[in-house]
Amino acid sequence: MDKTRRDFLTAAVTATGAVVTRDLAHAQDHDHGHSHQVVPSDLTLRVKSLESLLVEKGLVDRAALDALIDTYENKVGPRNGAHVVARAWADPAYKQRLLTDADKAIAELGFGGQQGEHMVVVENTPEVHNMVVCTLCSCYPWPVLGLPPVWYKSAPYRSRSVIDPRGVLREFGLELLEDVEVRVWDSTAEVRYLVLPERPADTESLSEDALAALVTRDAMIGVAKIVPRREGGST
């Protein structure tokens, strides 16, 4: 079972944690006189057990779950955002539309929908570096970035990004010059942000698809910069 499926099920379990915990505790109380493990230590088996329990309790429909997982595996995610960024790098007119009306520009590429309404794109330059956080919860542009990473939802990131953004970026391995202004954008249920990273040098000959392959999720959140790939595919 892949990481996307595990992440989705983790979120589902969080939402129904009280029910799952109660039932697992009940099962552990009835060991029938012999030792056994209710939740396997192997992560794959554990997730399968949780999925089966959610389906058995009627909390999740298996077909609906498969459809949702297919959506986040194949229809939304960082690859979509990467294509938005690559198009902006390759097409100045598109870039202007993206910065002016992100919703319409992103929709031109066929992306959009739930959790992606009211997008704002902010551009990194040599003088300004942008990073995105959601200080209240984990508002995040799903259609172009997929599901939020665990660290994005963590309390330390949500609080320290506002208090000490340079320190947070340093922990991600990004050291900015002192004369670079850092702007922190707070996503909400009404507005979600996407960072347009700086285009790496010496990429003028690359196709749009090749440019998209350079773009990372972290760069579109603003905690990393784009590093050109060296020959052989390494970074």
Lowest mean per-residue pLDDT among 44-48, 85-89, 179-183, 225-229: 44-48
pTM of the model: 0.70
- What are the domain boundaries of the chain? 3-74, 78-221
How far, in Å, CA of 196 to CA of 176, rounded? 17
Neighbours of 190 (CB within 10 A): 8
CA distances for 225 relative to 28, 38, 55, 58, 126, angstroms: 48, 44, 42, 44, 11
Active site residue 187: no
pLDDT at 116: 56
Q: What is the mean pLDDT of residues 188-200?
A: 94
pLDDT at 183: 98
Active site residue 205: no
Q: Quick one: pLDDT at residue 39?
A: 45
The full 3-state SS of 153-188, as one line of letters, equals HCHHHHHHHHHCHHHHHHHCCCCCCCCCEEEEEECC
Tokens 């020959």 belong to 231
> Quick one: 173 exposed, middle or buried, by C-beta within 10 A (0-12, 13-18, 19+)?
exposed
Q: Is the pLDDT of residue 36 over 60?
A: no
Q: Taking the domain 78-221, which CATH number applies?
A: 3.90.330.10
> Looking at residue 18, what is its pLDDT?
40
Convert the pLDDT of each residue in 64-119 to its tens digit: 777 666 665 556 679 999 999 999 999 999 999 999 999 999 999 999 766 657 89
Task: Compute the distance between CA of residue 164 and CA of residue 153 in angstroms, rounded to an integer.
Answer: 17
pLDDT at 191: 93
d(Cα 186, Cα 27) in Å, to the nearest integer? 43
Contact yes or no for 125/183 (Cβ under 8 A): no
| Contact by Cβ (8 Å): 46, 39 | yes
- pLDDT at 11 > cutoff 90: no
What's the rounded Cα separation, in Å, for the pair 184 and 129? Answer: 9
Cα–Cα distance for residue pair 87/93, rounded to 1 Å: 10
**What does the mean pLDDT of the chain come to?**
82
* pLDDT the model gives residue 8: 53
| pLDDT more than 70, % of the chain | 73
Average pLDDT over residues 30-41: 48
Structure tokens at 8: 């989705």
- Report which residue type is found at 61: D
Q: Which of 49, 52, 134, 234 is labelled catalytic?
A: 134
Predicted pLDDT of residue 31:
47
In the set 41, 49, 52, 138, the catalytic residue is 138
The residues, ordered by sequence, that sit 6+ positions from 84 with a Cβ below 8 Å of its Cβ are 98, 105, 106, 109, 111, 121, 144, 194
- Please give the pLDDT value at position 7: 55
Catalytic status, residue 52:
no
Active-site residue (options: 35, 52, 139, 154): 139
**138 belongs to the catalytic site:** yes
Q: Taking residues 164-187, what's their average pLDDT?
A: 97
Q: What is the pLDDT of residue 117?
A: 73
pLDDT classification of 29: cutoffs 50, 70, 90: very low
Predicted local confidence at residue 231, as pLDDT: 53
The mean pLDDT value for 138-163 works out to 93
Give the active site residue among 52, 137, 159, 207. 137
Residue 44, pLDDT score = 72
- 150-178: average pLDDT: 96
- The answer on pLDDT for 217 being more than 60 is yes
H-helix or E-strand spanning residue 2 = none
